[in-house]
Amino acid sequence: MNPAALAEKVRAAAVEVLADRGLDSTVLPETVDLRRPANPAHGDFATTLPLQVGARIGIPPQDLARWLATHLAEGDEIDSAEAAGAGFVNLHLTASALAGVVADIEAAGRDYAARPHVPGAWQEVDADLRKRRIWDNPVFTVQYAHARICRVVENSVKFGMDPAGADLGLMTHEREDTVIRVLGEFDEVAADRVARYLERLADALHRWYDTPECRILPKGDEEVAAVHLARLRLSCAVRQVLANGLETLGVSAPERM
């Protein structure tokens, strides 16, 4: 589920909450603003909608937040919703809702979250450092993440693996969850923040890749399992976003390093 679809869902829920109580829903804005909490523990998204409209209909924002959270938690694609603070609602999406971004990336391919070219990325990085293949070089870190996945996809062929339609809900490790969550932020990133975003995505990818419990390909005589296909599908989506981001920055996306 992308932010626009979630915003529509929140607004529709708010309309129902107000209508059920005989309250005026015309006070609701046409578009509901969502933000990502600084602390992921507080949810995938948060909205201040109750705080914005509560006073206008004579309802304490905290009460409206509780009503809205209860209503949203009963629907699909939202794992939990919690009222917080002076009138916030924190939203935790289900794994399937989060994974919907992978399908969006697959459908759009190179056009996913396309942006005008942004030259001059990583100019603050020392010229000599940019040439070195070390983790302190952010250019290398991002390019190596892309090359790493390309190698995985290449090696998957000998196992006859086809990740199309794989069930992403089979991935339950926290590092897989982190990759999916970071992946879902790409279409919201401002053009001048793409380089920093790619660094975060590459870091999440490397940490996931290096986790023994999260092997993407079977090891030794191990048979291909459904979770391997799920991980390969996620890997392909990450590769596409890395390639798209690097293209935006005018930086190459090597398949081997």
Please list, in sequence order, all residues whose beta carbon lies within 8 angstroms of the beta carbon of residue 176, skipping any fewer than 6 positions away: 208, 214, 231, 234
What are the structure tokens assigned to 256, written together? 């081997």
Give the mean model confidence (pLDDT) for residues 163-190: 91
Residues 6 or more apart whose CB falls under 8 angstroms from that of 20 comprise none
Q: Give mean pLDDT, residues 154-161.
A: 96
Looking at residues 193-208, what average pLDDT do you find?
A: 95
Q: What is the amino acid identity at position 101?
A: V
pLDDT tier at 128, thresholds 50, 70, 90: low
Spatial separation of the C-alpha atoms in residues 46 and 30, rounded to whole Å: 17
Average confidence (pLDDT) over 240-246: 97
* Range in 8-12, 38-42, 75-79, 139-143 the model is least confident about: 38-42
At 133, is the pLDDT very low, low, confident or very high (cuts 50, 70, 90)? Answer: low
Q: 126 pLDDT exceeds 60?
A: no
Q: Which residues of the chain form CATH 3.30.1360.70?
A: 3-93
CATH 1.10.730.10 segments of the chain: 117-249
For residue 221, is pLDDT > 90? no
> Which has the minimum average pLDDT: 110-124, 169-183, 196-210?
110-124
Q: Specify the pLDDT at position 161.
A: 97
Per-residue pLDDT, 220: 85
pLDDT band at 85 (very low <50, low <70, confident <90, very high): very high
Does the structure show a pLDDT above 70 at 103?
yes
Is the per-residue pLDDT at 45 higher than 80?
A: yes
pLDDT tier, 54 (very low <50, low <70, confident <90, very high otherwise): very high
- What per-residue confidence (pLDDT) applies to 237? 97
- DSSP bridge pairs for 92: 80
CATH for 3-93 (3.30.1360.70, 3.90.79.10, 3.30.70.1890, 3.40.50.9100):
3.30.1360.70
Q: Is the pLDDT of residue 224 over 70?
A: yes
Mean pLDDT of the chain: 91
Q: Report the alpha-carbon distance of residue 82 to residue 125 in Å, rounded.
A: 42
CB 94 within 8 A of CB 86: no
CATH number corresponding to 117-249: 1.10.730.10
| Banded pLDDT at 41 (limits 50, 70, 90) | confident
Share of the chain above pLDDT 90, in %: 70
The whole-number average pLDDT for the span 148-172 is: 95
